[in-house]
């Protein structure tokens, strides 16, 4: 379960990106966990930010769920009642839950775009922007949007670059939406509705009695039948939701048009289709039959969304590369960047793991050349020597993040058909290197932790924190031992140490001198619990992010009236506008930088 700060920040992001209705629905799912559509509708009617607010209607909740599904912020799984009953069509009724990491990743959209712009160019920027804007986007729509923004590019270039982004896992193909595994696009709509009610005779009779299956009478919301079912058994409620709830199936071209709400995004930007209400003999709610299955869909209808795991991993690689560039050398950072291209997240989204592949010297050299690290005209042998020395430096120690191993003979080179290059040397022909991601992640966490401790408690606080945390096993020391070892004045050190204890960065343990356990006559040992430290630092960063975003909205509201009449301002108002813009820039830069803390701590191991 996520902390209150994470939930509050996620709700703030949802409100900023999608408005108050989506925020209320998302906050209910964040606080309550996995819920069915009926339960979401019930809890949203209990939550009021303002006493005069009206409860959300069924259409508003349904459309908010559609938006969240479209952008991949919520996931669905079969209801446990259906699984326990052994029902075949377990996809008809779903439980929806919010992925907090997916919501918080929206804070990094600008960094994702900057990374793609620097590596692939403006056309790739527009392709990714289309996927981020619409949540999921079809191939034809992405190419159309990119070519419209970059006028000097052709559709063939955009399509080729799109395939490159998919290959590099910047984008990933997805289904237009989640659909029951047992329901294909060719399944008749009435057959699906019959299955939803055939196992529940009491519900079937109730639907027949309700105006021969028509909608509830005037004055009632579409969800009124669900609200009046409190006296029914839980199984009947489950079956009611199966008939009344949201039904999602893949569609061909795929415009997202909820009933009575207008288009959420343009046609082609995905394919979420709400259940159509078909008045049949029994009056069941049915799923409209659409086109062919996704496997036979034309290439222009393929749907893509951004790959969050890989893009987060790329940002973490860039952070560590910057550290190596500052502390070692720019060339060592370039060689490490070449090795990091072999580090990729797991293909399975449920497994938050990272795999790293070994690379031979020729492969490392090729990757550096592709990144522009070997300009034409330079001595090739000299450049190989520099790469060799950087590899030896990065893998010189046992705790290095780069591991070197020797191959047995020339089996690897012979199997790949490569011949040793002149001057490479026998040692480099039989060696290969790989990045040990767990060690790299641990070092990145340590750098982040040290930076935060130094910013909050200064150099003296960092010195005491390192004394308690660096040794293996971690030390438990009295305050006098800490002050003497770190050469810190007693008065100043005691104040800093107590502040660190209050913020859960340092723990203490009582060692009584006598059997009465008197506090005044006990020894107090200070120590560091790294797991608690990471939790405390992440919680503090999330609270700071929320405060900065709230302050940013407040400052922006003061600048808006001045921006609306920027050409008719007095001298005093122009100064106020300049200061307001400066404040906005500082706040925005601050929460963009601070967002690296939860990204690093939540990075897969």
Write out 403-424 in H/E/C secondary structure: EEEECCCCHHHHHHCCCCCCCC
- Which of the pair, 379 or 138, is modelled with greater confidence? 138
Residue 240: CB atoms within 10 Å:
24
Measure the CA–CA gap between 394 and 404, rounded to whole angstroms: 9
Give the pair of three-digit tokens for residue 245: 């709830």
Q: What is the pLDDT of residues 345-365, one digit of tens each?
A: 887 766 678 889 999 999 999
**What pLDDT is recorded for position 215?**
38
- CA atoms within 13 A of residue 316's CA, in its CB half-sphere: 30
For the chain, state the CA radius of gyration: 29
pLDDT surpassing 60 at residue 128:
yes
CA torsion, ordered 543, 549, 552, 553, to nearest 10 deg: -120
Residue 138, SS3 per DSSP: strand
Task: Tell me the pLDDT tens digit for each residue of 141-168.
Answer: 999 999 999 999 999 999 999 999 999 9
Task: Please give the pLDDT value at position 552.
Answer: 93
With tokens 């003999």, the residue in question is: 281
Which of 46-60, 211-225, 386-400 tops mean pLDDT?
386-400
Poorest-confidence range of 169-178, 300-309, 416-425, 561-570?
Answer: 416-425
CB-based contact 39:55 (threshold 8 Å): no
pLDDT at 195: 38
Q: Which positions ≥6 away from 360 have C-beta within 8 Å? A: 412, 413, 418, 429, 431, 432
- Binned at pLDDT 50, 70 and 90, residue 586 comes out as very high
Query: At 136, phi and psi to the nearest 5?
Result: -145, 140
Q: Which of 54, 52, 67, 51 is nearest to 15 (CA)?
A: 67
**Other Cβ atoms closer than 10 A to 562:** 16
Please list, in sequence order, all residues whose beta carbon lies within 8 angstroms of the beta carbon of residue 275, skipping any fewer than 6 positions away: 245, 246, 247, 285, 286, 287, 288
- Of 514, 515, 511, 535, give the one whose Cα is nearest residue 523: 511
- For residue 78, what pLDDT band results from cuts at 50, 70 and 90? confident
Average pLDDT (10-36) is 92
Handedness of CA 546, 547, 551, 552 (dihedral sign): negative
- Candidate CATH numbers 1.10.287.70, 3.40.50.720, 2.60.40.10, 1.10.10.10; the one for domain 4-103+179-301: 1.10.10.10
Neighbours of 33 (CB within 10 A): 12
Confirm if 361 and 338 have CB atoms less than 8 A apart: no
The per-residue pLDDT for 47 is: 65
In the chain, % helix, strand, coil (3-state, to 5) comes to 55, 10, 35
CA 281/CA 2 separation, integer angstroms = 47
Which tens digit of pLDDT belongs to each residue from 481-532? Answer: 999 999 999 999 999 999 999 999 999 888 887 777 677 778 889 999 988 9
Tell me the per-residue pLDDT of 253-269, one tens digit each, with 9 for 90 and over: 333 333 333 333 444 44
Residue 197 and residue 203 in contact, taking contact as beta carbons nearer than 8 Å: yes
The three-state DSSP-derived secondary structure of 70-110 is: HCCCEEEEECHHHHHCCCCCCCCCEEEEECHHHHHHHHHHH
Structure-token match 């932790």, residue found: 449
Res 471: pLDDT: 76
pLDDT tier at 287 (50, 70, 90 boundaries)? very low
Quote the Cα angle for 546-458-479, to 5°.
Answer: 115
Query: Which pLDDT does position 582 carry in this prediction?
Result: 94
| Whether the Cβ atoms of residue 250 and residue 316 lie closer than 8 Å to each other | no
Sign (positive or negative) of CA dihedral 9, 13, 14, 20: positive
DSSP label at residue 342: T
Which of these, 273, 84, 272, 289, lies nearest to 193 by C-alpha position? 289
d(C-alpha 131, C-alpha 109), whole Å: 11
Between 6-15, 49-58, 165-174, the lowest mean confidence (pLDDT) is in 49-58
Instruction: State how far the Cα of 185 lies from the Cα of 424, in Å rounded to an integer.
Output: 58
Q: What is the pLDDT of residues 451-478, one digit of tens each?
A: 999 999 999 999 999 999 887 777 889 9
Contact 182, 88 (CB under 8 A): yes
Whether 250 has a pLDDT exceeding 50, the answer reads no
Report, at the CATH architecture level, how domain 457-528 is classified: Orthogonal Bundle (1.10)
State the distance between the two ends of the chain, measured CA to CA, in whole angstroms: 20
DSSP 522-554: EEEEEE--HHHHHHHHHHHHHHHHHHHHHHHHH
Helix/strand/coil for 35: strand
What token pair was written down for 181?
């595994």
Q: Each residue of 155-203: pLDDT tens digit?
A: 999 999 999 999 999 999 987 754 333 333 333 333 333 333 333 444 3
Whether omega before 173 lies within 30 degrees of 0, making that bond cis, reads: no
């Amino acid at each position: 379960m996520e902390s209150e700060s994470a939930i509050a920040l996620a709700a703030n992001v949802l409100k900023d990106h999608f408005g108050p209705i989506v925020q209320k629905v998302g906050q209910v799912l964040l606080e309550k966990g996995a819920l069915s559509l009926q339960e979401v509708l019930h809890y949203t009617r209990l939550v009021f930010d303002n006493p005069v607010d009206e409860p959300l209607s069924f259409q508003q909740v349904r459309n908010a769920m559609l938006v969240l599904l479209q952008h991949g912020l919520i996931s669905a799984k079969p209801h446990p009642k259906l699984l326990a009953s052994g029902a075949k069509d377990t996809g008809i009724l779903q439980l929806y839950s919010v992925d907090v990491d997916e919501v918080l990743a929206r804070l990094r959209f600008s960094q994702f775009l900057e990374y793609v712009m620097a590596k692939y160019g403006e056309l790739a920027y527009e392709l990714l922007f289309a996927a981020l804007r619409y949540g999921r986007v079809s191939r034809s729509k992405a190419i159309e949007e990119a070519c419209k923004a970059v006028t000097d590019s052709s559709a063939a270039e955009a399509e080729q670059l799109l395939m490159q982004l998919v290959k590099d896992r910047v984008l990933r193909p997805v289904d237009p939406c989640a659909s029951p595994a047992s329901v294909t696009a060719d399944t008749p709509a009435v057959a699906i509705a019959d299955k939803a009610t055939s196992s529940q005779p009491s519900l079937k009779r109730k639907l027949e009695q309700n105006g021969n299956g028509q909608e509830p009478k005037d004055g009632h919301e579409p969800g009124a039948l669900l609200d009046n079912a409190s006296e029914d058994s839980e199984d009947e409620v489950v079956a009611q939701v199966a008939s009344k709830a949201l039904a999602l199936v893949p569609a061909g071209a795929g415009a997202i048009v909820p009933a009575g709400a207008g288009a959420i995004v343009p046609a082609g930007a995905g394919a979420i289709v709400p259940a159509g209400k078909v008045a049949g003999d029994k009056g069941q709610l049915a799923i409209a039959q659409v086109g062919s299955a996704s496997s036979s869909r034309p290439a222009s209808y393929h749907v893509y969304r951004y790959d969050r795991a890989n893009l987060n991993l790329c940002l973490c690689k860039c952070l560590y590369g910057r550290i190596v560039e500052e502390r070692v050398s720019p060339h060592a950072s370039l060689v490490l960047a070449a090795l990091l291209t072999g580090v990729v997240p797991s293909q399975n989204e449920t497994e938050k793991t990272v795999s790293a592949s070994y690379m031979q010297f020729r492969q490392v050299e090729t990757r550096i050349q592709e990144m522009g690290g070997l300009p034409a005209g330079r001595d090739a042998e000299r450049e190989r020597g520099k790469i060799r020395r950087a590899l030896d430096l990065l893998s010189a120690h046992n705790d290095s993040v780069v591991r070197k191993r020797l191959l047995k003979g020339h089996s690897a080179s012979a199997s790949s058909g490569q011949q040793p290059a002149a001057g490479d040397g026998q040692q480099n022909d039989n060696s290969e290197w790989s990045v040990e991601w767990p060690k790299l992640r641990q070092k990145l966490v340590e750098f982040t932790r040290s930076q935060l401790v130094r910013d909050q408690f200064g150099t003296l606080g960092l010195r005491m924190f390192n004394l308690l945390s660096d040794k293996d096993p971690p030390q438990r020391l009295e305050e006098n031992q800490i002050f003497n070892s770190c050469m810190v004045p007693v008065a100043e050190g005691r104040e800093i140490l107590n502040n660190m204890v209050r913020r859960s960065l340092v723990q203490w343990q009582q060692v009584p001198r006598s059997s009465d356990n008197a506090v005044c006559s006990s020894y107090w040992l200070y120590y560091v619990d790294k797991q608690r430290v990471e939790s405390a630092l992440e919680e503090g960063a999330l609270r700071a992010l929320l405060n900065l975003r709230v302050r940013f909205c407040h400052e922006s509201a003061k600048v808006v009236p001045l921006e609306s009449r920027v050409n008719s301002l007095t001298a005093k108002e122009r100064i106020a506008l300049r200061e307001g813009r400066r404040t906005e820039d500082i706040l925005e830069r601050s929460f963009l930088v601070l967002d690296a803390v939860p990204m690093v701590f939540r990075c897969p191991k």
